[in-house]
Amino acid sequence: MTHSGGCQCGAIRYRAEKLGDFVICHCRMCQKAFGNFGAALADAQGLTFTRGKPSEFRSSSIVSRGFCSQCGTPLYMREDGYPHEIAVGTLDHPDEAGHPKRQSGVESRLRWFATMVILPEETTNEYRSPDDLKKLKSRQHPDHDTDEWPAGGAS
């Protein structure tokens, strides 16, 4: 089973032959690279880019981070000598990554992370009005491969 994914704007698409370990990394570099609590990453074996080529930033002496230069989506981190670790949220079907197997970089974990599961939950339809929902038309690339993007070749 192959796994496909890509960035928000569709300039970069990829395919992975197999997903390996799924890890939540809390290190400070992942926090900054993803602008978030950290990163959800899965080993991507047999990774090929089927549209576009990511830009890279060397975030340390041993790690490169790939991202889309068009929309800024973080796509992967790659430690020298190891497979790419793809950002789980960029997969067309993120649940295919399974469940995280471990957490790393926990010395930088944000204090509130462990309590997220007890926060009240609501769906988008519960906190947005019907008029707001009409305005929320996504401009993101769909969660599947397309022959061209944007659709019809328009920018």
pLDDT tens figures, 6-15: 999 999 999 9
Q: Which of 133, 131, 137 is nearest to 151 (CA)?
A: 137
The burial of 70, by beta-carbon neighbours within 10 Å (0-12 exposed, 13-18 middle, 19 or more buried), is given as middle
Query: How high is the pLDDT of residue 155?
Result: 46
At 76-135, the pLDDT tens digits run 999 999 999 999 999 999 999 999 999 999 999 999 999 999 999 999 999 999 999 888
The pTM for the full model equals 0.89
User: For residue 79, what is the DSSP state?
Assistant: E
CATH number of the structural domain spanning residue 9: 2.170.150.70
Domain count, the chain: 1
C-alpha–C-alpha distance, residues 52 and 13, integer Å: 7
* Location of structure tokens 């204090």: 111
Task: Classify residue 137: in a domain, yes or no.
Answer: no
Query: How high is the pLDDT of residue 139?
Result: 84
Neighbouring-strand partners of residue 26: none
Q: What is the mean pLDDT of residues 19-38?
A: 96
Peptide bond into 150 cis (omega under 30): yes
33 contacts 77 by C-beta, under 8 angstroms: yes
- Predicted confidence (pLDDT) at residue 51 exceeds the cutoff of 60: yes
- Residue 40 lies in domain: 3-110
The mean of the pLDDT values for the chain is: 93
- Predicted confidence (pLDDT) at residue 69 exceeds the cutoff of 70: yes
Task: Classify residue 58: in a domain, yes or no.
Answer: yes
Task: Classify residue 124: in a domain, yes or no.
Answer: no
C-alpha–C-alpha distance, residues 134 and 47, integer Å: 37
